[in-house]
């Protein structure tokens, strides 16, 4: 079996909305099963499309379920397990949370810790995109088609100040270190109003989103190290009260201790912000 994961940077016009595009590719015999993979909560939304007939499976509601050809995943606070049987190519559009109501005018709160097929969530219009990229062997061509589709959504975008969208951006910019109290004060709204509006828009509380972003920032830092990091240094660098606090959060979001995850070579955790190709014979 061979597996590879690549990320592709969006065009400048789409960078305020799109984190990246990615391709996860398993090459295997028809009955060969991949190791169980884990998608960690990174604070993003995902439009995911199988580019060929073979589908991956997700562990949901305590059973393995075959995924739709194209599906949407909302914000998650839990680790998601999935696997493939045979050769599978999954292409993903990773969006910032505030992008969905801006580009597609659809609410996302109902999809917190959940997923659904694209047509159910976006309507039949999205099928044209899915059908156009289906079966294409060249991922660069897939990216170009997706870019054209998303750039067309920008034409009807109206510039407007929205404190929930601004709060989301500020939490990311601070790498999760900005407290909710400081955030509400900066935005000149009450903490209760911010919490209510944030949940109505996205599903999680702003505090949960802040914790997810702080975890993501710490997780990304691990992959800049060639040797085991000093966990006490990591915890203080990212604003945890102590090492125990950092480890508790890490276990909550990954179901593993940091040292275990750092040494993992089989589950090919997606690494935000990196272009990565990893091969296993």
Q: For residue range 110-140, what is the model confidence (pLDDT) as tens digits?
A: 999 999 999 999 999 999 999 999 999 999 9
Torsion angle, CA of 68/7/146/154, rounded to 10 degrees?
120
Q: What is the pLDDT of residues 147-184, one digit of tens each?
A: 999 999 998 787 778 999 999 999 999 999 999 999 99
Q: Is residue 255 pLDDT above 90, yes or no? A: no
Report d(CA 108, CA 234) in Å as an integer: 32
Across 36-58, average pLDDT? 94
- Residue percentage of the chain with pLDDT more than 90: 68
For 209-249, the pLDDT digits (tens) are 999 999 999 988 887 777 887 888 888 889 898 899 999 99
SS3 content of the chain, % helix, strand, coil (to 5): 40, 20, 40
Residue 267 has pLDDT above 70, yes or no: no
pLDDT of residue 269: 58
Asked: is 163-263 a CATH 1.10.10.60 domain? The reply is yes
* 23, containing H or E segment: strand 18-27
Contact predicate 121/106, CB 8 Å: yes
Q: What is the mean pLDDT of residues 23-51?
A: 92
Pick the CATH number of 2-154 from 3.40.640.10, 2.60.120.10, 3.30.1050.10, 2.40.10.120: 2.60.120.10
- On the question of a common fold for 2-154 and 163-263, the answer reads no
Q: What is the reported pLDDT for 168?
A: 97
Q: Report the predicted TM-score, pTM, of the whole model to 2 decimal places.
A: 0.90
Domain extents for the chain? 2-154, 163-263
Q: Is the pLDDT of residue 59 over 80?
A: yes
Arithmetic mean of pLDDT over the chain: 89
What's the rounded mean pLDDT across residues 102-110? 90
DSSP 73-129: E---SS-EEEEEBSSEEEEEEEE-TTHHHHHT----GGGTT-EEEHHHHH-TTHHHH
Q: What would the two tokens of residue 278 be?
A: 């990893």
CA dist., res. 23 & res. 277, Å (int): 10
pLDDT tier, 9 (very low <50, low <70, confident <90, very high otherwise): very high
CA distance 208 to 161: 23
Q: Taking residues 41-63, report their average pLDDT.
A: 94
Closest CA to 44 of 81, 92, 89: 92
Q: Look at residue 61 in the predicted model and tell me its pLDDT.
A: 87
Percent of the chain predicted with pLDDT > 70: 94
């Amino acid at each position: 079996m061979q597996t590879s994961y690549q990320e592709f940077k969006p065009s400048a016009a789409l960078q305020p909305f799109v984190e990246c595009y990615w391709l996860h590719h398993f090459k295997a015999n028809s009955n060969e099963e991949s190791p169980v993979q884990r998608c960690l909560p990174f604070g993003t939304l995902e439009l995911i499309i199988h580019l060929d007939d073979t589908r991956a499976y997700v562990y949901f509601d305590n059973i393995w379920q075959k995924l739709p050809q194209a599906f949407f995943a909302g914000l998650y606070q839990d680790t998601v397990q999935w696997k493939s049987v045979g050769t599978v190519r999954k292409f993903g559009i990773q969006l910032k949370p505030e992008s969905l109501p801006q580009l597609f005018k659809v609410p996302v709160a109902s999809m917190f810790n959940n997923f659904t097929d694209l047509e159910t969530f976006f309507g039949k219009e999205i099928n044209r995109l899915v059908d156009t990229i289906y079966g294409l062997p060249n991922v660069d061509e897939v990216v170009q088609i997706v870019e054209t589709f998303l750039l067309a959504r920008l034409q009807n975008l109206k510039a407007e100040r929205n404190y929930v969208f601004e709060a989301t951006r500020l939490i990311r910019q601070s790498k999760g270190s900005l407290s909710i109290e400081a955030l509400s004060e900066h935005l000149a709204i009450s903490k209760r109003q911010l919490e209510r509006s944030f949940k109505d828009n996205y599903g999680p509380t702003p505090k949960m989103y802040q914790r997810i972003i702080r975890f993501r920032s710490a997780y990304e830092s691990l992959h800049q190290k060639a040797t085991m990091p000093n966990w006490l240094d990591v915890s203080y660098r990212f604003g945890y009260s102590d090492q125990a606090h950092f480890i508790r959060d890490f276990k909550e979001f990954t179901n593993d201790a940091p040292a275990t995850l750092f040494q993992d070579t089989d589950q090919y955790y997606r690494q935000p912000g990196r272009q990565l190709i990893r091969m296993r014979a």
